[in-house]
């Protein structure tokens, strides 16, 4: 007799507890490799990082030195021209990328750590803890984040540390909401109940059982948070709230913006650098999202 | 009198990743005014695709690859979009399986019923509203003049399906297609909806194509039946005849699944062997030329494996069947 | 009835949150490094020793923190948000003058992004894999990644020197009349570039959102029902699918009002638009803390107001919320 092939739907892996740690990650990487936009974003970001790490040594012009006459258009000496003080723009871009990317990365990390902590506690415990934490989140959400960061930096001083902390402190509510929603969804699923029945404590349940399963959307939102943090750093520096002693893309824009009509190169290139970096990061975020939620891929 | 709906040799394919995959093959049937044609089969056998092909509302990847659909003498398959719009909701209408999702949650039921009248009858907003109340009364919704301003989520499932029926019949269509109209409803409500359909049909003389897997409903409502399996019609004929003398093993298996429809006493032992059909409908693309029911058939023999699926073979005036062994396993043969 | 109760609950909630913002402001003044009196006076302001001494008495800076907090809150309830020594004016008056310009900018950017974003999303949803749709996807990615101040500078460059057909700074032309239709047209002309700059970011986001939701709506059962009723495509999309597409956009637009406001700070700085954002920039430059903190408070007021309006619109659009159903 012919056997009948069952058409049973494949189990939805996102609903299963993440146990075998390596295979889902490998599978996600394979999926990611299939997204041309995501791969392109990753390649561009790696190139930018390499350029900021190696570029200053190769190009050999100090970004804070006067390299020529102020506002010299791009030429053979200064490939991308000089700024209002006569400093080399390309050198500034290469050096400034370090601060911009570092602030972006660290601020995003702070955002995610605060957001995930708040969200997981609220979602896992529910009840009065949830109510209280949701109120706190709501409070932070009514303050326009960039404006709040401006106030913090103005009051506490313009250093890279304050700028990074300020961006992290104002940006976490959306990560908290996301994490809370995931925890609310997951905490009543069978595998969580089973772990609880097996005597798992709250700490174990939150960190080892629920969180790993809530990670996919959190990873996507962490990626996007880096882009947002870079945009915030740019915005703060643009208003003169960056660290004046550390070259960054935003600082270059802010310092040169009054010369835009006379010297287009002074603002065009630093802004383009921010644009390309954020674009690359959001493409990576989309790629990861597609890799994690294959069902949604068609809709994008 | 010519039939209201005449479907000839209709085939539908899905444009999948591996080319065109047949979903429905060479289906033909007629429905006359005031008559009910039932399309029966498990899910995935092509019933809904038939309905959507008639309405010309097939999902994006599906195409009619051959055949003809005449509605009141008009070829639906070659109608322009504009002609189709004037047919839909007017000469032919359809009610769907899920009355919750088939109604727009953001508009009142009165608005959604009145919309049809405004479109096809050119009624004013106010007249359409008044008419909507009349139709809600006709489908036996209590307090119709209040319910007309209710939103779908404020109504029960049975009420919503009544609203769908009111909407479908508002323009007195020649043809009503009911795609599993009771599947999503409670058992007690199912009977009420079928009774309502049958009463309304008596009043309006509408031809109905009823898509269902409920053979009880077929016995009660249908004049003719076509049993579909894996996109092919395997048995077709007058409802009484098929119910009384089902010849195809699949049809008989289906009937055995319905407790109150115990078949001819003589074949009780056969029915017992069939009453749960093992296995599932073969997936799209995995259907060869041989009988699609073969892997699940308790009566399969050498001839079934050696030959392609036979064409529908007219047994008598009332019935046709596509089975190599129908004579051997016919109800009479075993008696 | 139900609605009145609902709105009053919302207002009570808003009141609580805004009180919390005031407490935050108070804490910020005292947590900032340096003498609170100097913070209140504004470090760079022309505050003399007399003024500082007067401030110590006025805000009771020698008393306990709790007493100081109540003094501060008491002043706020009488509309006293402090005095800007840089602008030489009470802060409340300053903000009152600047709010209209910011609202023009923010609301026109919002309207523009919702309308254009939704349209682009709808058109691209009709052929999700078509050329237009891919173009919209590219635009929405670019609009999301481009820093708003840079887009502004690029537009300023384009219309300031390459193709000077639009005014690039300020809100009015000195040479034009200050009243009547001519004035309105003048302001509108000046508004084009700032509003476009600010709107582009959100056009990008809403077109993406509209596209996804429209694609969803177009496969929904009720859209099939609408087609089965023989309705013309314009009604199928414009009535049945559109309203379901608008709901998430309304929600997101409301949630993003704060971001929009913060974006306005940057855009106003680029185009010298005389609104609250420009005021923020000037007070940052002069370390004018009372003004800065008051702007933070009033931006929270605007965000709260936007949230309440969004909620009302949401209830208007979606009857399921209105009647407390599912």
Lowest mean pLDDT among A235-249, B156-170, C174-188: C174-188
Name the pairing type of β-strands B232-238 and B319-321.
Answer: antiparallel
- Domain assignment present for residue A141? The answer is yes
Name the pairing type of β-strands B224-229 and B36-40.
Answer: parallel
Residue with the larger pLDDT of the pair A106 and B281: A106
| Arithmetic mean of pLDDT over chain A | 82
The pLDDT of residue C47: 61
Buried b (16+ CB within 10 A) or exposed e, B91-108: bbbbbbbbbbbbbbbbbb
Reading the block at residue A68, the tokens are 């020529």
Any idea how long chain A is?
300
> C173 pLDDT exceeds 50?
yes
Residue with the larger pLDDT of the pair A194 and B301: A194
CATH of the domain at A127: 1.10.3720.10
Question: Using CA atoms, how far apart are residues B168 and B204, in angstroms rounded to an integer?
Answer: 12
Residue with the larger pLDDT of the pair A74 and B81: B81
Q: Which of B107, B211, B204 is nearest to C226 (CA)?
A: B107
Residues of chain A whose beta carbon is less than 8 angstroms from a beta carbon of chain B are 1-7
Q: Report the run of H or E that residue A194 belongs to, with start and end.
A: helix A190-197
Inter-chain CB proximity C318 and B106 less than 8 Å: yes
Burial of C180 (0-12, 13-18, 19+ CB in 10 A): exposed
Q: Which of A12, A78, A17, A5 is nearest to A208 (CA)?
A: A17
Reading the block at residue A160, the tokens are 């890279």
Burial of C48 (0-12, 13-18, 19+ CB in 10 A): exposed
Strands (E) located in chain A: none
**Mean local confidence (pLDDT), B309-314:** 75
The pLDDT of residue B265: 43
Rg (CA), chain C: 24
> Between vectors from CA A45 to CA C209 and to CA A265, what angle results, nearest 5°?
90
* ipTM at complex level: 0.86
User: What is the end-to-end Cα distance of chain C in Å, rounded?
Assistant: 20
Reading the block at residue C218, the tokens are 């177009």
- Domain assignment present for residue A271? The answer is yes
Residue A21 phi, psi dihedral angles, 5° rounding: -65, -35
- Domain assignment present for residue A10? The answer is no
Q: Which residue has the tokens 């537009």?
A: C155
Reading the block at residue B217, the tokens are 């409903």
Residue A235 is nearest to which of C149, C293, C303, comparing CB atoms? Answer: C149
The pLDDT of residue A279: 92
Q: Report the run of H or E that residue B199 belongs to, with start and end.
A: helix B187-204
Question: Using CA atoms, how far apart are residues C211 and C244, in angstroms rounded to an integer?
Answer: 12
B282 CB neighbours in chain A (<8 A) are 4-5
Any idea how long chain B is?
335
Q: Which of A87, A50, A35, A20 is nearest to A293 (CA)?
A: A35
Q: Which of C145, C321, C124 is nearest to C237 (CA)?
A: C124
Q: Which of C105, C99, C94 is nearest to C263 (CA)?
A: C105
Q: Residues 259 to 298 of C: which have CB under 8 A from any A CB?
A: 259, 261-263, 265-266, 269-270, 280-281, 284-285, 287, 289, 292-293, 295-296
Residue B280 is nearest to which of A1, A2, A7, comparing CB atoms? Answer: A7
Rg (CA), chain B: 21
Residue C230 is nearest to which of B104, B105, B120, comparing CB atoms? Answer: B120
The pLDDT of residue A44: 92
- Domain assignment present for residue A70? The answer is no
Inter-chain CB proximity B294 and A5 less than 8 Å: no
The pLDDT of residue B263: 44
Residue A6 is nearest to which of B280, B294, B295, comparing CB atoms? Answer: B280
Alpha carbon A134 to chain centroid, angstroms:
23
A299 CB neighbours in chain B (<8 A) are none
pLDDT per position as a tens digit, C125-145: 888 888 888 888 888 888 888
The pLDDT of residue A17: 47
Question: Using CA atoms, how far apart are residues C106 and A91, in angstroms rounded to an integer?
Answer: 37
Residue with the larger pLDDT of the pair A283 and C169: A283
pLDDT per position as a tens digit, C302-312: 999 998 888 88
Neighbours of B177 (CB within 10 A): 28
Closest chain B C-alpha to A1 CA, distance in angstroms: 7
Closest chain C C-alpha to B287 CA, distance in angstroms: 28
The pLDDT of residue C284: 85
Angle between helices A211-238 and A160-171 (to 10 degrees): 130
Confidence tier at A200 by pLDDT (50, 70, 90): confident
- Domain assignment present for residue A80? The answer is no
pLDDT per position as a tens digit, B138-184: 888 999 999 999 999 999 888 999 999 999 988 889 999 999 888 87
Q: Which residue has the tokens 């579909």?
A: B228
Question: Using CA atoms, how far apart are residues A286 and A179, in angstroms rounded to an integer?
Answer: 19
**Mean local confidence (pLDDT), B248-252:** 80
Q: Domain tally for chain A?
A: 1
**Cα torsion angle, A51, A52, A55, A57, sign:** negative
Full-model pTM: 0.80
Burial of A138 (0-12, 13-18, 19+ CB in 10 A): middle
> C46 pLDDT exceeds 90?
no
Q: Which of A218, A248, A200 is nearest to A103 (CA)?
A: A248
Closest chain B C-alpha to C123 CA, distance in angstroms: 17
B7, β-bridge pairs: B29, B69
Reading the block at residue C246, the tokens are 């608008």
Inter-chain CB proximity B57 and C224 less than 8 Å: yes
CB C225 within 8 A of CB B96: yes
Inter-chain CB proximity B294 and A2 less than 8 Å: yes
| B282 close contact with A: CB closer than 8 A | yes
Name the pairing type of β-strands B5-16 and C83-84.
Answer: unpaired
Name the pairing type of β-strands C89-90 and C83-84.
Answer: antiparallel
**Mean local confidence (pLDDT), C171-178:** 72
Inter-chain CB proximity A5 and B283 less than 8 Å: yes
> B294 pLDDT exceeds 90?
no
Question: Using CA atoms, how far apart are residues A84 and A96, in angstroms rounded to an integer?
Answer: 16
Confidence tier at C105 by pLDDT (50, 70, 90): very high
> B30 pLDDT exceeds 60?
yes
Closest chain B C-alpha to A181 CA, distance in angstroms: 25
| C325 close contact with B: CB closer than 8 A | yes
| B296 close contact with A: CB closer than 8 A | yes
Neighbours of A64 (CB within 10 A): 14
- Domain assignment present for residue A28? The answer is no
Residue with the larger pLDDT of the pair A8 and B22: B22
Cβ-Cβ pairs closer than 8 A, B with C, add up to: 79
Cβ-Cβ pairs closer than 8 A, A with B, add up to: 16
> A81 pLDDT exceeds 60?
yes
Burial of B26 (0-12, 13-18, 19+ CB in 10 A): middle
- Domain assignment present for residue A23? The answer is no
Q: Which of A150, A176, A145 is nearest to A162 (CA)?
A: A150
**Mean local confidence (pLDDT), C235-240:** 90
Secondary structure of residue B31 in the 3-state scheme: strand
The pLDDT of residue C45: 53
Q: Which of B62, B55, B59 is nearest to B21 (CA)?
A: B62
Q: Which domain holds residue A247?
A: 99-275
Neighbours of A207 (CB within 10 A): 11
C234's CB contacts (< 8 A; 6+ apart) are none
Q: Report the run of H or E that residue B29 belongs to, with start and end.
A: strand B19-31
Question: Using CA atoms, how far apart are residues C35 and C56, in angstroms rounded to an integer?
Answer: 10
User: What is the end-to-end Cα distance of chain A in Å, rounded?
Assistant: 45
Q: Which of B228, B256, B250 is nearest to B294 (CA)?
A: B250
Reading the block at residue A49, the tokens are 């990082």
B321, β-bridge pairs: B235, B313
> B266 pLDDT exceeds 50?
no
Secondary structure of chain C in HEC code, one letter for each residue: CHHHHHHHHHHHHHHHHHHHHHHHHHHHHHHCCCCHHHHHHCCCCCCCHHHHHHHHHHCCCCCCHHHHHHHHHHHHHCCCCCEECCCCEEHHHHHHHHHHHHHHHHHHHHHHHHHHHHHHHHHHHHCCCCHHHHHHHHHHHHHHHCCHHHHHHHHHHHHHHHCCCCCCCCCCCCCCCCCHHHHHHHHHHHHHHHHHHHHHHHHHHHHHHHHHHHHHHHCCHHHHHHHHCCCCHHHHHHHHHHHHHHHHHHHHHHHCHHHHHHHHHHHHHHHCCCCHHHHHHHHHHCCCHHHHHHHHHHHHHHHHHHHHHHHHHHHHHCHHHHCCCC
Confidence tier at B334 by pLDDT (50, 70, 90): very low
Closest chain C C-alpha to B88 CA, distance in angstroms: 4
Inter-chain CB proximity B119 and C244 less than 8 Å: no
> A290 pLDDT exceeds 90?
no
Reading the block at residue A255, the tokens are 């310092």
Secondary structure of residue B140 in the 3-state scheme: coil
Inter-chain CB proximity B102 and C224 less than 8 Å: yes
The pLDDT of residue C166: 78
**Neighbouring subunits of B (3+ Cβ pairs under 8 A):** A, C
- Domain assignment present for residue A170? The answer is yes
The pLDDT of residue C129: 81
**Cα torsion angle, B146, B151, B156, B157, sign:** positive
């Amino acid at each position: 007799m012919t056997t009948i092939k069952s058409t049973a739907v494949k189990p939805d892996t996102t609903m299963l507890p993440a146990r075998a740690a390596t295979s889902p990650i490998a599978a996600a990487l394979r999926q990611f490799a299939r997204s041309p936009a995501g791969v392109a974003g990753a390649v561009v970001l790696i190139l930018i990082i390499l350029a900021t790490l190696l570029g200053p040594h190769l190009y050999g012009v100090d970004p804070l030195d006067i390299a020529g006459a102020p506002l010299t258009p791009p030429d053979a000496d200064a490939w991308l021209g000089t700024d209002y003080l006569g400093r080399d723009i390309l050198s500034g871009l290469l050096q400034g990328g370090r601060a911009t990317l570092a602030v972006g990365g660290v601020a995003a990390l702070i955002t995610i750590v605060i957001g995930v902590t708040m969200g997981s506690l609220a979602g896992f415990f529910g009840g009065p803890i949830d109510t209280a934490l949701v109120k706190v989140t709501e409070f932070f959400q009514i303050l326009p984040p960039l404006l709040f960061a401006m106030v913090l930096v103005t009051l506490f001083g313009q250093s890279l540390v304050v700028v990074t902390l300020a961006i992290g402190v104002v940006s976490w509510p959306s990560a908290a909401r996301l994490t809370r929603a995931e925890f609310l969804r997951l905490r009543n699923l069978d595998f969580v109940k089973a772990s609880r029945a097996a005597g798992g404590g709250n700490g174990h349940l939150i960190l080892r059982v629920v969180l790993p399963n809530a990670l996919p959307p959190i990873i996507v939102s962490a990626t996007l948070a880096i882009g947002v943090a870079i945009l915030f750093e740019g915005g703060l520096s643009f208003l003169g709230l960056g660290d004046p002693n550390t070259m960054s893309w935003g600082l270059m824009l802010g310092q040169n913006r009054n010369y835009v009509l006379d010297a287009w190169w002074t603002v065009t290139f630093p802004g383009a650098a921010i644009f390309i970096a954020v674009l690359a990061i959001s493409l990576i975020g989309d790629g990861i999202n597609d890799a994690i939620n294959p069902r949604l891929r068609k809709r994008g | 009198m010519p039939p209201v709906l005449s479907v000839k040799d209709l085939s539908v394919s899905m444009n999948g990743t591996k080319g065109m995959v047949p979903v429905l093959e060479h289906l033909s049937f007629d429905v006359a005014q005031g008559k009910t044609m039932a399309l029966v089969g498990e899910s995935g056998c092509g019933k809904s695709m038939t309905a959507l092909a008639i309405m010309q509302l097939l999902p994006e990847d599906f195409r009619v690859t051959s055949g003809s659909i005449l509605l009141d003498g008009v070829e639906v398959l070659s109608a322009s979009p504009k002609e189709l719009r004037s047919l839909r909701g007017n000469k032919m209408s359809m009610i769907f399986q899920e009355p919750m999702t088939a109604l727009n949650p953001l508009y009142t039921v009165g608005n959604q019923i009145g919309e049809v009248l405004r479109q096809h009858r050119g009624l004013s907003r106010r007249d359409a509203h008044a008419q909507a109340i009349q139709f809600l009364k006709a489908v036996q919704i209590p307090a119709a003049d209040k319910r007309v301003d209710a939103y779908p989520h404020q109504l029960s499932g049975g009420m919503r399906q009544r609203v769908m029926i009111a909407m479908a019949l508002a323009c007195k269509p020649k043809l009503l297609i009911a795609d599993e109209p009771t599947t999503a409803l409670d058992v007690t409500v199912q009977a009420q909806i079928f009774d309502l359909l049958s009463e309304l049909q008596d009043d309006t003389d509408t031809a109905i194509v009823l898509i269902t897997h409920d053979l009880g409903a077929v016995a009660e409502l249908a004049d003719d039946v076509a049993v579909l399996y894996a996109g092919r019609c395997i048995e077709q004929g007058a409802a009484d005849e098929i119910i009384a003398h089902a010849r195809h093993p699949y049809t008989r298996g289906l009937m055995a699944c319905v407790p109150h429809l115990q078949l001819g006493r003589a074949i009780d032992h056969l029915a017992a062997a069939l009453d749960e059909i093992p296995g599932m409908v073969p997936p799209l693309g995995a259907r060869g030329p041989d009988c699609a029911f073969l892997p699940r058939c308790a009566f399969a023999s050498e001839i079934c494996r050696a030959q392609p699926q036979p064409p529908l073979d007219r047994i008598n005036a009332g019935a046709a069947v596509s089975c190599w062994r129908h004579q051997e396993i016919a109800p009479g043969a075993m008696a | 009835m139900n609605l009145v109760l609902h709105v009053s609950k919302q207002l009570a909630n808003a009141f609580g949150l805004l009180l919390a913002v005031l407490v935050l402001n108070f804490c910020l003044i005292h947590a900032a490094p340096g003498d609170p009196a100097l913070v209140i006076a504004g470090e760079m302001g022309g505050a003399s020793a007399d003024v500082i001494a007067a401030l110590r008495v006025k805000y009771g800076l020698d008393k306990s923190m709790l007493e100081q907090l109540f003094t501060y809150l008491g002043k706020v309830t009488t509309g006293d948000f402090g005095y800007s020594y840089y602008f030489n004016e009470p802060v409340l008056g300053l903000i009152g003058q600047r709010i209209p310009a910011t609202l023009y900018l923010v609301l026109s950017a919002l309207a523009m992004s919702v309308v254009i974003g939704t349209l682009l999303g709808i058109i691209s949803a009709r052929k999700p894999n078509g050329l237009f749709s891919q173009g919209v996807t590219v635009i929405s990615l670019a609009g999301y990644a481009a820093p708003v101040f840079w887009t502004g500078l690029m537009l300023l460059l384009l219309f300031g020197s390459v193709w000077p057909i639009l005014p690039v700074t300020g809100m009015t032309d000195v040479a034009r009349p200050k009243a009547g239709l001519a004035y309105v047209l003048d302001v509108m002309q000046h508004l084009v570039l700032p509003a476009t700059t600010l709107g582009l970011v959100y056009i990008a986001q809403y077109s993406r959102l509209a596209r996804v939701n429209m694609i969803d709506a177009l496969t929904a059962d009720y859209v099939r029902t609408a087609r089965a009723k023989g309705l013309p495509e314009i009604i199928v999309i414009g009535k049945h699918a559109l309203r379901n597409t608008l709901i998430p956009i309304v929600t997101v637009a409301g949630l993003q009002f704060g971001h929009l406001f913060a974006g306005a700070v940057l855009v106003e700085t680029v185009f010298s638009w005389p609104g609250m954002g420009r005021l923020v920039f000037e007070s940052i430059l002069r370390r004018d803390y009372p003004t800065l903190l008051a702007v933070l408070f009033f931006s929270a007021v605007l965000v709260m107001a936007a949230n309440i309006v969004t909620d009302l619109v949401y209830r208007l659009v979606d009857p399921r919320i209105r009647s407390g159903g599912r």
